[in-house]
Structure formats: C-alpha cells, structure tokens
C-alpha cells in the first residue's frame, strides 16, 4: 500500500490522532493543512513562472495576430 504501511497500521495511526486531538479539532487541522499546501503550490508556480517567463515569447491570440498583420500591411 503506502510503502509497507497496511490497513491495520493506518487505522491505529488514525485512532491515536483521534485520541490526541479529538473529533472536533481534526477537521480544523485538515483545513489548515490544505490551505498550507495550496499556498505552497501557488508559491512554487509563481517562482517557476518567474524563472521561465522571460525566456518564452508572448503568445498572441488569433484576433490579435489579424489586427497587427492588418495594421502592418497598411
């Protein structure tokens, strides 16, 4: 399953977490963890865009290409 962790081990881990934090606190912890992961992914994407952004040429839509081609031919 997950690197040698079976279903019994996962159930035991979940029960220990339930005992430590309580049933009311677990959704709050999961929500905070999800927000943190979202922020991290966003920061990673922004950093990657900054590093690769200037190297790629700007893409034009078909409408913009027609307008600029028509302006150049006049």
List the domain boundaries for the chain.
Answer: 23-51
Task: Give the predicted TM-score (pTM) of the model.
Answer: 0.48
Distances 74 to 60, 65, 71 between C-alpha atoms, Å: 20, 15, 6
Q: How many CB atoms lie within 10 A of CB 13?
A: 11
Q: How many helices and strands (H and E) does the chain possess?
A: 3, 0
Per-residue pLDDT of the chain (74 residues; tens, 9 = 90+): 457 889 899 999 989 988 988 888 888 989 999 999 999 999 999 999 998 876 545 555 666 655 666 666 65
What is the number of residues in the chain?
74
């Amino acid at each position: 399953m997950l690197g040698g962790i079976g279903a019994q081990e996962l159930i035991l881990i979940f029960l220990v977490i339930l005992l430590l934090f309580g049933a009311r606190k677990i959704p709050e912890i999961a929500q905070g963890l999800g927000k943190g992961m979202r922020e991290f992914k966003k920061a990673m994407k922004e950093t990657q865009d900054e590093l690769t952004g200037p190297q790629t040429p700007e893409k034009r839509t078909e409408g913009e290409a027609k307008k600029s081609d028509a302006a150049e031919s006049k």
